[in-house]
Structure 1
Amino acid sequence: MDWLVRMRRLPADRMLDHLLRSGTVTQPEITRLARRLVRFYATATVESITPEAYRQSLAAWLGDNLRELASPEFGLDPHVGEALAHSQLGFLQDHADLFDARVRQGRIVEGHGDLRPEHVCLPARTSCYRLPGVQPRVPYPLRPTNWAIWRSNAPRRRRGQARHRRSGPG
């Protein structure tokens, strides 16, 4: 059986990437989005991953970011990306205990790790969308460069508690 899905086009002028570029996003819109993301991540399913595997996946992800930042299309000084990656990898190595504790505390969730501004629409009711074919590479709350959210102490559901599966932010 084939399925037919009727989709409506999101307003391009209300996508977060456009609002950021044009400088028209408002603080209440960002607050509303942050609250929605907090609700989603607070109920997301805890990942089953070892501390070592988690740190290895983050290190690989940082390498991917460095390669992406080195792309000529961005016009960035390659030394800036290298310094950033070096700093992040150093933090990961020097503070492995912090990352390991997050795994042991059940704070690592499958939360679509590459939520980007072009995935977020800010109409009257905030929505986040997963694009077709965009799959998370490693389980973590958000990109590690977003330290404020990544290091948040929001309560997480522990293994064994009731699950409420969602396909994306709520």
Structure 2
Amino acid sequence: MNMVQDWKQGISQFWASLSDGWAKLRERANGTLTYFAPDAHDAVPKQADGSRLPVSSWAYLAMDIYDENDRIIVRIEAPGMTQQDFSYKVLGNMLTVSGAKRFERASTEKNYRILECAYGSFQRMVPLPVAVDVDRADASYRDGVLRIELPKLHHSNARRILVRQG
């Protein structure tokens, strides 16, 4: 009976370790992969038998965030889109970038064999290290890169108090 209990304990430790590993991996990858929700409006091409090709719903949008003296700059590589495809908002210390990547149907019929690009609407949340001035924020899209500049909000909580003579 002791051998069975040892075996059960070993299996239990294995599953706990595996579960912990998955949780750590999910935590590290949180926000890195972007989910593209398939839209009904996307014209995903059909195969010869009339069925739709499977389209990837996950994509890696490479992102750089850097802190300059007076602003935070977020760069997101998102090729194949236009500036009208994006929107962003800041709520508290979180920047949310959302948009949609539409499948463009060519005028000539093509026979697709593999379709790995993700299409549909997406949302990516980015934690900001400092408070930013949303009213002065600026965003641009050029050569497949979305660049968002967020000026830092400088709070001055310190105030000089003059001391009067008595």
Question: Taking structure 1 as the reference length, what is the TM-score of the superposition?
Answer: 0.23
Richer in helix (by share): 1
Structure with more contact order per residue of length (Cα contacts < 8 Å, sep ≥ 6):
1
Bigger radius of gyration among the two: 2
Richer in strand (by share): 2
